[in-house]
Amino acid sequence: MLFSDLLRLSFHNLFLHKVRSILTSLGIIFGVASVISMLAISEGAKRESLAQIEAMGTDKILLFSRKPSAMGSQSPDTGMVEYFGLNDADLRAIRNFDNIAKITTARNARKKIFKGVKPVAATLVSASPDFLEDTKSEISEGRWLSEFDGVNRMPVCVIGKNIKKNLFKLENESVINEIVRAENFVFKVVGVLENNLGTQLPELNSPNDMIIIPETVSASLFGTRAYSSRNTRQFFVENIAYDLFIAKVSDISYIDDTAKRMRNYMDKSHSKKEDWGILVPYDLLKQREKTQNIFTIIMSSIAGISLLVGGIGIMNIMLANVYERRKEIGTRIALGARKKDILAQFLIETILLTLTGGVIGVVIGVLLSETVTYYAEWKVVFTAWSFALSFIISTLTGIVFGTYPAWKASRQNPIEILRSE
């Protein structure tokens, strides 16, 4: 028989039993839908997490201050000064390391921000001029802090986009020249910062939640001490010079060696207390990529089980179909149909079922992924290879699980079939 005749006959038999055909395809439909949705969700999670790491800069090493857990354990009736973290000696030493192009510094001023008499969740940060560039942030309104502001100790600030929303409730209006109050100090807003890459800095969090002032202004107003009351009878003074060093390397191929040298220096110079931490985004990126790839494989394997179950279901239905259509098979063989024609017809029917199920599964998978995005606010990413993989798997499932029923149909003895009928 011609292939076109086999194809037409297969479509006729499938449409003749519409409900059974749909039920037979359900396993493939849900299997493909789960493959599409799981791959989209895992790919979205992978890209989002990798983008956050890349936003910190793969050519940078982040060295940050961390408060030792042993501090703050003195008697509640006394006050004390707590010295910890990065200092000027660390800055001078690390700047002289080989492969260090520049160092951007930042410090949490540890001052409460107020809107009227109500405190607002915000971090007052003093930063060096390269902070905007090194955090891959942009100015959406106004300007960035200038050298003139630092030299003349101007009480100005740049606020993150979340601060603009929470402090002023003015999303579409300008806040330039508005006033921000940090305890007993006021600063004039000269710009609004926006970071859309998800940058998260150790101990300082997102630039979108910061109020940034020049380093010289912070030093002249606050020094390096910040008062922190624990209760009515106790206070602590935290003396810390820097919260964060963003060290940019000249050659990324030697970034691991540079980070190792930093660790050795900090171990020696801060040997009495563990008051620092180090983060290498490049190493973290490689590790996260590996983890996400493993996660994708696991998710795909779980979804593949649905396809396996669906394939077994199709094979069972097609075997039952062969038994039900024994008279048709016997008649066709008696009229001259060859065994390979019978085998091809049943195999084509199975492949058509799985391909149709694959198409419907892709549509359901896309809708399911978009539903997850809408309600859970998870980012999903569809890739061409995931769609191609679904169709390839559907076809292979039809071939693998349809071959045996088709072979069984082609082996029928027409004399025995017609005699029994």
Mean pLDDT (whole number) for 102-116? 88
pLDDT score at 212:
95
The answer to whether residue 165 is domain-embedded is yes
pLDDT at position 261: 92
Q: What is the pLDDT of residues 286-320, one digit of tens each?
A: 766 677 677 777 766 776 676 777 777 777 777 77
Judge if 353 and 227 occupy the same domain. Answer: no
What average pLDDT does this structure show over 136-161? 92
228 and 353 together in one domain: no
Does the structure show a pLDDT above 90 at 211? Answer: yes
Flag the least confident range among 154-168, 185-199, 255-269, 369-383.
369-383
Q: Which element (helix H / strand E) includes 312? A: helix 281-324
In a domain, 308, yes or no: yes
d(CA 373, CA 383) in angstroms, rounded, equals: 16
| Residue at which a domain ends, from 192, 217, 247 | 247
Q: Provide the domain limits for residue 356.
A: 3-52+287-420
For range 145-173, the mean pLDDT: 88
More confident residue, 352 or 13: 352
How far is Cα of residue 373 from the mean position of the Cα atoms in its chain? 13
Q: What whole-number percentage of the chain has pLDDT above 70?
A: 82
**Confidence class for position 75, pLDDT limits 50, 70, 90:** very low
In tens, the pLDDT along 113-134 reads 888 778 888 899 999 999 998 8
DSSP string, 220-267: HHHTTEEEEEEETTEEEEEE-SBSEEEEEES-GGGHHHHHHHHHHHHH
Question: Are 283 and 61 spatial neighbours (Cβ–Cβ below 8 Å)?
Answer: no
pLDDT at 193 over 70: yes
Same structural domain for residues 391 and 298?
yes
Determine which of 191-200, 207-216, 224-233, 383-392 has the lowest per-residue pLDDT on average. Answer: 224-233
Residues 326 and 194 in one domain: no
Domains identified in the chain, total number: 2
In a domain, residue 75? The reply is no
Please give the residue that has the higher pLDDT: either 199 or 329.
Answer: 199
Neighbour-count burial for 245-264, b at 16+ CB within 10 Å, e otherwise? bbbbbeeeeebeebbebbee
Taking residues 38-49, report their average pLDDT: 77
Do 230 and 363 reside in the same domain of the chain?
Answer: no
Tokens of 5: 């005749």
Per the prediction, the chain carries an average pLDDT of 80
Residue 80 lies in a domain: no
**Model confidence pLDDT, tens digit, residues 19-28:** 777 777 787 7
Q: How confident is the model at residue 285 (pLDDT cuts 50, 70, 90)?
A: low
C-alpha–C-alpha distance, residues 421 and 164, integer Å: 83
pLDDT at 88 over 50: yes
Is the residue at 272 inside a domain?
no
CA distance 48 to 55: 10
pLDDT on residue 78:
44
Summarize pLDDT for 256-277 with one digit per residue, the tens.
899 899 999 999 988 777 788 9
Is residue 1's pLDDT more than 70? no
pLDDT at residue 77 tops 50? no
8 A C-beta contact, residue 346 and residue 409: yes
Q: Is the pLDDT of residue 227 over 70?
A: no
Tell me if 296 is assigned to some domain: yes
Give the rounded distance of the alpha carbon of 145 from its chain centre.
32
The verdict on 330 and 403 lying in the same domain is yes
Q: Is residue 226 domain-shared with residue 350, that is, in the same domain? A: no
- pTM confidence score: 0.62
Among left, alpha and beta (phi > 0; psi -120 to 50; other), residue 304 is alpha
Report which of residues 63 and 49 the model is more confident about.
Answer: 63
Are 34 and 173 part of one and the same domain? no
343 and 409: one domain? yes
| pLDDT, mean of residues 334-361 | 80
| Mean pLDDT value of segment 230-243 | 67
pLDDT at residue 235 greater than cutoff 50 = yes
Asked if residue 212 lies in contact with residue 125, where contact means CB atoms within 8 angstroms, the answer is yes
Residues 6+ apart with CB under 8 A from 314: 24, 25, 27, 28, 350, 353, 354, 397, 398, 401, 402
Q: One-letter amino acid identity for 375?
A: Y
Give the pLDDT of residue 106. 93
Q: Are residues 240 and 323 in the same domain?
A: no
Using CA atoms, how far apart are residues 213 and 109, in angstroms rounded to an integer?
Answer: 10
200 vs 377: CA distance, rounded Å = 19
Whether residue 382 is predicted with pLDDT greater than 70 in this model: the reply is: yes
Strands 123-127 vs 179-182: parallel, antiparallel or unpaired? unpaired
Same domain, 194 and 111: yes
Is there a single domain that holds both residue 241 and residue 333? no
Q: Is residue 84 part of a domain?
A: no
Question: Is 140 or 411 the better-scoring residue by pLDDT?
Answer: 140
Name the amino acid, one letter, at 204. L
Residue 57 lies in a domain: no
